[in-house]
Amino acid sequence: MNPKYAFELTANPGHEPTAEYGPRQARILNQSGLAQARDAISSWPGYAPTSLLRLDGLADALGIKALYYKQEGERFGLASFKPLGGAYAVLRRLQAEIRERLNVETNVGDILAGKFSDLAAGVTVTAATDGNHGRSVAWGARMFGCRCVIFINEAVSIGRERAIAAYGAEVRRNPGSYDDAVRTTFETARSEGWHVVPDTTDGETFEAPRDVTQGYAVMAAEAIEQLPADVVPSHIFLQAGVGGMAAATCAQFWQSYGDRRPTSIIVEPEQSACWFHSLQNRRPTVISGDIDSVMAGLACGEISTLAWDILEPGAAWAMTVQDGAAEDCMRLLADGRHGDAPMVAGESGVAGLVGLIALAGDKEARSRAGLTETSSIIVFGTEGATDPEMYRHIVGRTPEEVTA
């Protein structure tokens, strides 16, 4: 029997289903930028496309034709899609600094070989994080030889803090929420002369968050190439915090499929549903109060205005889900409950799948969103067990026991 997950669903009144991918979107994400990102990222040690898994058992249980799951728990040994964005943006900031100081163009190979190590050692990159983005920035900084300072908020687990510090970053715990940590990061960077590598915008920055988002698009491009040639997905369920991953994925499918693009559905924790309310209100809307969620990577109260230019016309629906549903979905995947191979998935990584399961189990909402027995769906498992102790607490087994 399928679980029944509580949810809220709203149509996006700004959705433009037949609109072309226009200049407003292309100034942020485009195929030239994707090619540049792929060329760089594919040259990093350990790069390989992550798996696109077909979950036939769960698809049958949900009454759909096919369900594809992009397994980002395999990415670069960091168990998250985040290195595609944060580490790539670190590289771009360092290349810009080398260009400005030495008036030379650089390639990844020269930087990895240590040709500019003295200069790189004097560059400090910084970011705010709930865990995964900061870990990516720290990993990239170590790979490219930069100093790194990461700001975390009160709710970030000790396990995630240690995982960031393991890559040589200085980690500073900031009072308040993720959004408070973002503000502190920008303020400190201005006073210290550091380079911010944000996954969101403060209204002043553009290039760094654009680079982060462009790096994320590599994940979507891989998925499109991995799909069978005769499959045009009908829906994609995209979890959102500030919206970078959702925007990158929506944009890549939009550019690839045009007016045949899949219906994009944004999924968020109910207590931090900044996209749900922003799309509903047709303007960026801040969520205040206690926004902490077990889906820590999605616990954001303010959207990225950069992502808004893509998702405001590009997303068809937004929905909210509950923490308990995310925990149950982690166990569902770990158990292989419908005959699919057991799988490790993290709290934020399952949110899109939670949205699909919730919607598929509600006859009226399912009909509204156009979900039928002929639907082919893609979800993005954006993290594995990024905090193994938290994973064991929720699932009751270690990641190693699940996959044994």
Each residue of 10-45: pLDDT tens digit?
A: 999 999 999 999 999 999 999 999 999 999 999 999
pLDDT for the residue 380: 99
The whole-number pLDDT of residue 369 equals 98
Active site residues: 82, 130
CA distance 322 to 264: 20
Residues facing 135 on adjacent strands: none
Place of tokens 């699932």: 395
| 86-198 has the same fold as 7-80+209-403 | yes
Q: Report whether 81 contacts 384 (CB < 8 A).
A: no
Question: What whole-number distance in Å separates Cα of residue 163 and Cα of residue 130?
Answer: 12
How wide is the angle at C-alpha 241 spanned by C-alphas 236 and 247, nearest 5°? Answer: 45
Residue 2, pLDDT score: 78
Q: pLDDT value at position 203?
A: 66
Helices and strands, number each (H, E), in the chain: 18, 11
> If DSSP codes are grouped into helix, strand and coil, which group holds residue 14?
coil
Nearest residue to 100 via CA among 82, 118, 119, 86: 119
Q: What integer pLDDT is reported at residue 130 of this predicted model?
A: 80
Which CATH architecture is the domain 86-198 placed in?
3-Layer(aba) Sandwich (3.40)
- The pLDDT, as a whole number, for residue 394 is 98
Please tell me whether the overall predicted TM-score, pTM, comes out greater than 0.75 for this model.
yes
3-state SS assignment for residue 376: strand
Listed residue (122, 172, 174, 176) closest to 150, CA to CA: 172
Return the beta strands (E) in 64-181 as ranges.
66-71, 124-129, 147-153, 170-174
Please give the pLDDT value at position 159.
87
Nearest to 314 by CA among 21, 29, 28, 33: 21
123-147 pLDDT per residue, tens: 999 999 887 899 999 999 999 999 9
Residue 37: the pLDDT is 98
Question: Which of these, 214, 220, 260, 221, lies nearest to 238 by C-alpha position?
Answer: 220
Strand order in the sheet with 66-71: 7-11, 317-321, 263-269, 235-239, 376-381, 66-71, 52-54
Rounded-to-integer distance, Cα 232 and Cα 65, Å:
12
Q: What is the mean pLDDT of each run of 10 residues along the chain (404 residues)?
A: 90 97 97 98 97 98 98 96 96 97 95 96 94 92 98 90 95 91 93 93 81 98 98 98 97 97 98 98 95 93 95 99 98 97 98 99 98 99 95 98 96
**DSSP 8-state class, residue 51:** P
- CATH architecture under which domain 7-80+209-403 falls: 3-Layer(aba) Sandwich (3.40)
Q: Are 83 and 139 in contact (CB under 8 A)?
A: yes
Domain ranges within the chain, ordered by starting residue: 7-80+209-403, 86-198
d(CA 244, CA 253): 14
Q: Which two tokens stand for residue 55?
A: 């979950």
Strand segments, DSSP code E, in 219-338 are 235-239, 263-269, 317-321
Beta bridge mates, 127: 150
| Identity at 376, one-letter amino acid code | S
